[in-house]
Amino acid sequence: MTSPDAAHLRIARPTADMDAAVRFWAEGLGMELHGRQPGHHGTLEELAFLGWENGSWHLELVRDAEIGPAPTDEDLIVLYLDGPVDEELIARIERAGGTRVAARNSYWDEHGVMFSDPDGYLLVLSTRSWP
């Protein structure tokens, strides 16, 4: 058994527009699309899986007629980059549908760049390191 501290992490997020969400995460952030499953007969949601080849986590996007996006100011995915955020990365995320936004908590504006994805969920590219 894998120890919980070494386990792979899955983050699932609902989306209203699968194509827009995949474009944001794949073309904008550079994640790889590992798979996509269309919905079937209105009973099974549409799914997409994105991650990086050697990443310790992946994102699952879910489009379901009964469950829509409901982001809050605290629904953050934070990537700790341990240095300045590349301006080309910022431009690429914006071209892929991301909107640069001010953080409710000024800590994130002082230590990174925050984006809203097409569903309103927040992504922070932090200049800090972890831990």
Residue 36: how many CA atoms within 13 Å on its side-chain side? 10
Give the pLDDT band of residue 34 (cuts 50, 70, 90). very high
Residue 38: predicted pLDDT:
85
Mean pLDDT of the chain: 94
Q: Looking at the 3D structure of the chain, how many domains does it have?
A: 1
Give the pLDDT band of residue 63 (cuts 50, 70, 90). very high
Instruction: Give the residue numbers spanning the domain of 65.
Output: 8-126
The yes-or-no verdict on residue 33 having pLDDT over 70 is yes
In a domain, 1, yes or no: no
Residue 130: predicted pLDDT:
94
Average pLDDT over residues 51-75: 94
Report pTM. 0.92
CATH number at residue 21: 3.10.180.10
In a domain, 3, yes or no: no
- Strands 76-80 and 112-116, how do they pair? unpaired
In a domain, 85, yes or no: yes
DSSP string, the chain: ---GGG--EEEEEE-S-HHHHHIIIIIIT--EEEEEE--BTTTB-EEEEEE-TT-SEEEEEEEBTTB-----TT-EEEEE-SSPPPHHHHHHHHHTT-EEE--SSHHHHHTEEEEE-TTS-EEEEESS---
